[in-house]
Amino acid sequence: MVKAKRRVNQAAESEQVWNTTPRLLNIPDTAKYMGCTVWFVRTLIWGRQVPHLRFGRRFLLDRSNLDTFIDSQKNVT
């Protein structure tokens, strides 16, 4: 019975680790996060308007950089 409880606790701990939100987003996830199209995100990367990481052919964007970009684009009058 103790072993069964231990297995349940280990399963619950592993679910907590996997339910965290990732810091780095790929292009489709970035588009969902920003509420725009994939091509708009690609345009931002190609125009070097948003900092990004490149691993081989894969582009990754940091959530904090996206939040900074979004805040900088707000028009305050």
Q: Closest Cα to residue 28, out of 19, 20, 37, 18? A: 37
Q: Which domains does the chain have, with CATH numbers?
A: 22-77 (1.10.10)
pLDDT bracket for residue 75 (50, 70, 90): confident
Amino acid 70: pLDDT: 94
pLDDT bracket for residue 59 (50, 70, 90): very high
More reliable by pLDDT, 57 or 21: 57
CA distances from 41 to 5, 55, 68, 73 (A): 46, 17, 15, 14
Q: What is the DSSP letter of 59?
A: E
> CA quadruple 30, 35, 39, 40: dihedral positive or negative?
negative
Q: What is the pLDDT of residues 4-35, one digit of tens each?
A: 556 656 655 655 556 688 899 999 999 999 99
Q: What is the pTM of this model?
A: 0.69
